[in-house]
Structures are given as C-alpha cells and as structure tokens.
Structure 1
C-alpha cells in the first residue's frame, strides 16, 4: 500500500486547512490513488479483506472522499453500495438511497483524521436503526485512537502532525493555507 501511495502522489506537502479546522504541513489526497481504476480495485479488495469475516449487507461511504473506495469495497464483498452527501450542511441519504432497520452496514472512508464525516454517517445510520458492523479506511491519521464507538480498521496508519490554527507554525511564518478537501467550513 505504501508503494502505491508514493507512486500515485497521494501525500502532499504544503500548508493545509483540514476539514477538522486544524492545520497541517502534509495532506493525504487519496483521490490521486483512486483515479486509477486498477489501483482503486486493488485497494478496495485489500480493504475488503480486513472485513471478510464480518457479515455485511451494505457498504456506505460519505461523499466525496469515501464514494469510490466504498464502491470498490462493496464490489469486492459482493454487496450494494450507497453514499451519503451533505445538503445545506447536513449529511443525508439522497438519490433514493435507503437503509433498513437491522441492515448490517460497513462504513468506508478514504482518510480518517478526526472521523467527523464518518461520525455524521454513523448518526444517520443509527437513526435508521442499522446494525453498524465496523468502520474502515485506506488511511488512519487518527493518531492510533479509534474515534468511533465501532470497530475500526485501516490499510495503513500514518502520523501527520496537525495544529490548532492559533498554534500553527506555518501561519506564524505567513504561509497561506489551502483547503484541499471537499468539506467546506467557516474560516477561523
């Protein structure tokens, strides 16, 4: 996995404003990996193997980062895949997607740092009384602490320092931050 991450240019360096509101000098852009169908398929298969013994009826991924990898995991597991998306700032099921009470769901994301998007998906699934089996991601940036109340597995862990905006050394040096992700937020 590390070789594919390096080869496809996933790890970016600069000054980044993360979805969590924190700042970092490195960012994992898994879209660079997933834009290659063969890489996406292999990554999905490898991630699905981490959950091969779990009974799963459905895979759910948050838009935008989780859509492709959730689909590839679902394809490998032989189950349907749906995604959630934000409308007016709230994570929702749209496009006719539904989740039934008791349905065994695996939640898949590309990168987990604080787990904010996944937690929104989990709340949505819990409201529908789904049986959340586990959470998985390509990359775990959480610092080794499972941010969820469900089992969590990732293909790789990477430790990337992040900073509160007031403590960011890059801000103190006057280096402008860029927002590379898909989730918008108010600037601090």
Structure 2
C-alpha cells in the first residue's frame, strides 16, 4: 500500500472524521460506541476523496474489475472518486450505486449505473461494523448476475463484519482498522 498516502489519509481521518466523547454514539448497526467515525467527512473532502481513490485503485491493480459500487450513501463519494481517478490513470472502472429501496418512478431501479451481468465487481463502504450494508449491496448485485471479487472499507471497526463476510466467502480489505484508529 502507498504508505505516504495512507499516513496523510489517517491524519485527515483523525482531524475531520474521528469523534470521541464521554457519551455513547448510536451506530447504524444499532450498537453503541464511545467513538464515531464520520466517513463522509473524509470521502467528501477533496484531498480525502483523492487519497481514498488512490489507495483503492492500488489495491485493485492486476485484477479484472468491471465495476465498483456499494450501498448509498456510504459508498457514493468513494465510487465517484474511484471511477474518476481510474479514468485519469488509464484503468477506467465504471461505478454503480445500490439504493436502499427501488425508485418509485422512472425505471424503478434498485441499482444505478452501468452494471452488466457477469461483471466482476468490488463493493465499498466508508465504515463497516457488522457488515449489514455490505451484505445488502452484495445481495442486490449478485441477484443481477455479478460476481463480488472484493469488499473494501475505509475503516473496519472490527466488530464482526470481516468474520461474517469470510463465512460467506468474501474478503474484506480495510484501509484502516479499529486498532489503526486507536493509534491516530
């Protein structure tokens, strides 16, 4: 992994996204925590988005990747940054977004973007705890006939997602783990 870029991304994460308090935070998983990581403060930051995309593209080099996406909204800025930077670097990876529910108008799609059957795809998220958002995205893209070749997260809170994914045959790669965050 690109160490200089990862170090800088860690600084951005610490300064802009990491929230610690005496009170507990409620997580999307329903769990409580004494710290919170607002991933969008990194992935919607110009430098943060660039660094996340750069590190993800580095992780994907040498693999046939036909698409990158995930469940809205955690994945949205990540896939946008990756698809743009991948084009600039001459390795274009189309992006897609999985909605939490199908649109009620127009094409009434659950997946937005140029996702094609038999595609090798990567699922991304900003922060994973139990993996429920990841599993929703995996279910929907596999229903469309795609193969999930990797799952990548900006941060793994190390609360079961990696193990749950492994039980189903998926590999979670995280740029940072809970242990990394504690050292920031």
Bucket of the pairwise TM-score, normalised by the shorter protein: 0.7 to 0.9
Question: Is 1:87 aligned with 2:106?
Answer: no
Question: Is 1:130 aligned with 2:142?
Answer: no
* Native 8 Å contact 1:139 1:156 kept in 2: yes
Q: Deviations over 1:39-97 (max 9, x none)?
A: 21111111221121221011112111111012222333321111111128xxx6255x3
SS at match of 1:86: coil
CA–CA separation in structure 2 for the residues paired with 1:98 and 1:76: 17
Q: Quick one: which of 31, 35, 39 aligns to 2:40?
A: 31
Question: Is 1:6 aligned with 2:10?
Answer: no
The aligned residue for residue 53 of structure 2 is 44
Alignment TM-score, normalising by the size of structure 2? 0.76
Q: CA deviation at 1:159?
A: 4.8
The aligned residue for residue 4 of structure 2 is none
Structure 1 stretches of 5 or more lacking a match?
161-188
* Native 8 Å contact 2:95 2:114 kept in 1: no
Residues 1-188 of structure 1 aligned to structure 2 (within 5 Å): 1-8=9-16, 10-13=17-20, 14-77=23-86, 78-87=92-101, 93-95=110-112, 97=113, 99-143=115-159, 145-148=162-165, 149-159=169-179
Larger mean CA deviation between 52-61 and 143-152 belongs to 143-152
Structure scoring higher RCO (CA < 8 A, sep ≥ 6) equals: 1
Alignment TM-score, normalising by the size of structure 1? 0.74
CA–CA separation in structure 1 for the residues paired with 2:138 and 2:154: 18
- RMSD of the alignment, in Å? 2.1
CA–CA separation in structure 2 for the residues paired with 1:146 and 1:44: 25
Q: CA deviation at 1:143?
A: 4.1
Q: CA deviation at 1:133?
A: 1.1
More helix by share: 2
* Native 8 Å contact 1:63 1:83 kept in 2: yes
